[in-house]
Structure 1
Amino acid sequence: MKKILFISMLLSFSIISACSDKEEKPNVANKPQEEQESNVANKPQEEHQSHENQESSKTNKGNTEASLTQADVLKNIKNQLKTDLSITLPKGLPIIEGTFLSAITKAEANQVEILFFESKKYLPINDEKLKNSQSATVIARLVVKQYQNAKEANEQISFVNFSQNGGQEVDLGYKIKGYQDAGAGSLWTGWNEGRWAIATHTRTDNPEAGMKLAKQAVQFLETHMLPIPKQNGFARLDVYESGNSIVWQNEKLVYTLDSIKEPLKALEIATAFYH
């Protein structure tokens, strides 16, 4: 009797154990499935994160380009020149707010040329798109040429002492005397400031415009300094916004600024060379 009872208890225990194992087994089998479902669920999130990283990289690049200061661009321009000439560049150029400064550079043994541009979108220095007038606008051209000696360089400057050159004396304000001279349909108003000779040009049928521009230039130079020439400098300012040029000497080097439409802007760019 005891033997039969023991066998019955043993069988009951085995059945309970088998049922227990059967209930637990699916949980073990489901674990890899849960991981798989988790991986599937996370995949789009990872792809989205990767896309965000790419977009962030593009944004950072755009921000870097937008954050380039004029000082950064001018430094890059000087590095692009790869010249042995010891030249000075302006501290900045007057460009429309929200535009970018760039340039096309050219360097030879004794001369460098820089064509400055402003563009609505960032364009690297010497980019081909700068040659497209729809992509960028010329601000100014700078040519720096080295001569054999300072005497030869000085001969390139059309310096005039207007007080000794004659002409009708006029008052330009700020105790500056100007001298007017007319001929061949042109009227010139010239004056001297230090080692600089400055003259405005108009036509004889529009004399007031020449005086007005001369007075504006004198007023501007009361608060702005032109670069100190060694030995002389000459500025030609045109009422009709053609032929504006500013030239000055620095020992054997001669700086020429031209391709500037507005005469007062030409003066503004020239004063940016004062360091």
Structure 2
Amino acid sequence: MKKVFFTFMLLSFSIVGACSDKEEKPNVPNKPQEEEHQSHENQQESPKTNKEDTVASITQAGVLKNIKDQLKTNLPITLPKGLPITEGAFLTATTKAETNQVEIVFLESKEYLPINDIKLKQPDRATVIARLSVQQYESTDETNKQISFENFSQNGGQEVDLGFNIKGYQDAGVGSLWTGWNEGRWAVATHTRTDNPETGVKLAKQAVQFLETHMLPIPKQNGFAHLDVYESGNLIVWQDGKLVYTLDSIKNPLKALEIATAFYH
């Protein structure tokens, strides 16, 4: 601060001395060469610093607001409060909007890229986090047909303890093994192969533990989550009146749950 004040005073005195030949130039000592060099470096670095500060100020909340603005849709959709991204990465997205449907592909990039930037089509510039599609139907009755509530306790199957007083039920068929349970109006199931049954139960227990401290969005009326051990078929769908939300293109099943719980408001 002292250096800045000293420099400001020096410039002020120089301007006053140049404006009037009658006034006596103040006897100000010359700045040391090292100080002048440092001051010049600071002036060169300031544009870069300002640019970095501007980019860093683009928060997830700001990006999500921009996404909603760019959709230009009348559908009363809800977006997540945030998404899990790599530290130091930037959140961005591509968007599509039609009369009764919107699609958002959430991505992360190492550099700041605006929403719908053409560079987002290049796989080496951005990585997909999740895809969200929201479809509006003509009536809630039609919406209810899209997702029927599944009560695993009534479906039978081998009972398994998932912890936190929750019972799961295993059902096998055609090389697949499902472990399903209910949380309110949600039906949640993990998928593995019959030759690797332990991984399905392990993932189910991890999901149950996660949902003890995180809330899925409240479906009106129903919702289901399919979590895949092999990270190839994660799918989360829920109703909200005439709207049906679908989350997919998420590799990690627990990340899928984390993103879904970010829709809880």
TM-score, scaled to structure 2: 0.83
Q: How many pairs align?
A: 228
Following TM superposition, by how much is the alpha carbon of 1:131 offset from its aligned partner in structure 2, in angstroms? 1.0
- Structure 2: 5+ residue stretches without partners: 1-20, 22-35
Q: Retained in 2: the 8 A contact 1:210–1:239?
A: yes
Q: Which structure has the larger Rg over C-alpha atoms? A: 1
Tell me which amino acid in the other structure corresponds to 1:130.
Answer: L
User: Alignment partner for residue 238 of structure 1, among 218, 228, 235?
Assistant: 228
Matched, 1:188 2:181: no
For 2:6, the equivalent position in structure 1 comes to: none
For 2:86, the equivalent position in structure 1 comes to: 96
**Counterparts of 2:108 and 2:150, CA distance in 1:** 34
Tell me which amino acid in the other structure corresponds to 2:154.
Answer: Q
For 1:198, the equivalent position in structure 2 comes to: 188
Matched, 1:248 2:209: no
Tell me which amino acid in the other structure corresponds to 1:70.
Answer: Q
**Counterparts of 1:151 and 1:233, CA distance in 2:** 15
Q: Retained in 2: the 8 A contact 1:188–1:201?
A: yes
For 2:155, the equivalent position in structure 1 comes to: 165
Following TM superposition, by how much is the alpha carbon of 1:159 offset from its aligned partner in structure 2, in angstroms? 3.0
Matched, 1:134 2:124: yes
Following TM superposition, by how much is the alpha carbon of 1:57 offset from its aligned partner in structure 2, in angstroms? 4.2
Following TM superposition, by how much is the alpha carbon of 1:158 offset from its aligned partner in structure 2, in angstroms? 4.8
**Counterparts of 1:58 and 1:127, CA distance in 2:** 23
Following TM superposition, by how much is the alpha carbon of 1:61 offset from its aligned partner in structure 2, in angstroms? 3.0
- Bigger proportion of residues as helix: 1
3-state DSSP class of the match of 1:155?
Answer: helix
Following TM superposition, by how much is the alpha carbon of 1:60 offset from its aligned partner in structure 2, in angstroms? 1.9
For 1:4, the equivalent position in structure 2 comes to: none
Q: Retained in 2: the 8 A contact 1:200–1:239?
A: yes
For 1:13, the equivalent position in structure 2 comes to: none
* 4+ runs deviating over 6 angstroms: none
3-state DSSP class of the match of 2:107?
Answer: strand
For 2:198, the equivalent position in structure 1 comes to: 208
Cα displacement string for residues 91-116 of structure 1 (whole angstroms, at most 9, x for unaligned residues): 00000100000000000000000000
For 1:113, the equivalent position in structure 2 comes to: 103
Following TM superposition, by how much is the alpha carbon of 1:81 offset from its aligned partner in structure 2, in angstroms? 0.4
**Counterparts of 2:247 and 2:141, CA distance in 1:** 21
Q: How does 1:28-107 map to 2 (within 5 A)?
A: 52=43, 56-107=46-97
User: Which of 147-156 and 87-96 deviates more?
Assistant: 147-156
For 2:114, the equivalent position in structure 1 comes to: 124
- Structure 1: 5+ residue stretches without partners: 1-30, 32-44
For 1:274, the equivalent position in structure 2 comes to: 264
Report the identity percentage. Answer: 79
* Root-mean-square deviation over aligned CA pairs: 1.7
Tell me which amino acid in the other structure corresponds to 1:211.
Answer: V
**Counterparts of 1:236 and 1:182, CA distance in 2:** 15
Q: Retained in 2: the 8 A contact 1:66–1:122?
A: no
For 1:223, the equivalent position in structure 2 comes to: 213
**Counterparts of 2:83 and 2:148, CA distance in 1:** 25
3-state DSSP class of the match of 1:236?
Answer: strand
Cα displacement string for residues 98-144 of structure 1 (whole angstroms, at most 9, x for unaligned residues): 00000000000000000000011000000011111111000000000
Following TM superposition, by how much is the alpha carbon of 1:62 offset from its aligned partner in structure 2, in angstroms? 3.0
Following TM superposition, by how much is the alpha carbon of 1:263 offset from its aligned partner in structure 2, in angstroms? 0.2
Q: Retained in 2: the 8 A contact 1:238–1:244?
A: yes
User: Alignment partner for residue 260 of structure 1, among 250, 256, 259?
Assistant: 250
